Amino acid sequence: MMWSAVVWAESLNVPIGTTDLTQNNIKIRITRIHSPNITAHGYDTFLLEVFRDNKWHQIPVENFNTMEGADCMVQDFDFYTNPFRIVRKKRDFGDSWMDVRPITLTLYELTPMGELLTIKEDTLPPACDVKGIDTTSLFHY
């Protein structure tokens, strides 16, 4: 028999604009900016900051934006609290927005020092759209 621990987390809605929250005595700010396009390929960019030493510090996150097409979204993020976590949902672009490719889920967790660490990565079966994929499977260790 194999045992696994389940770490519970609550889904966090991050609308366009600024969202402030406190987790484990860490003040966190998430800023979401929407960049429309004349085509169906707009995108959202996220900025993550923690409040430390009486000022806000940006936490560098590589490629911290959605990738949206008219047919499929190829990169998106889910945010969770208790504890604060981010899940990146991504598939390779392939030859077109409509390609069906394996999806990679990456779980990040914020440390008490305000660093974002990669905790776990998983690959899901091929799909076109990453939007709406259940990412809670990453919380089973």
Whether pLDDT at 51 is above 50: yes
More confident site: 27 or 42: 27
Q: Is 0.85 topped by the overall pTM?
A: yes
CB under 8 Å to 132, separation ≥6 — which residues?
A: none
Confidence of residue 27 (pLDDT cuts 50, 70, 90): very high
Residue with tokens 């993020």: 77
pLDDT of residue 21 exceeding 60, the answer is: yes
Q: How far apart are CA 66 and CA 39, in angstroms?
A: 15
Across the range 98-117, mean pLDDT stands at 91
Mean pLDDT score of the chain: 88
Mean pLDDT across the stretch 48-77? 92
The DSSP secondary-structure symbol of 40 reads S
Is the CB of residue 31 less than 8 Å from the CB of residue 18? yes
Beta bridge partners of 107: 87, 120
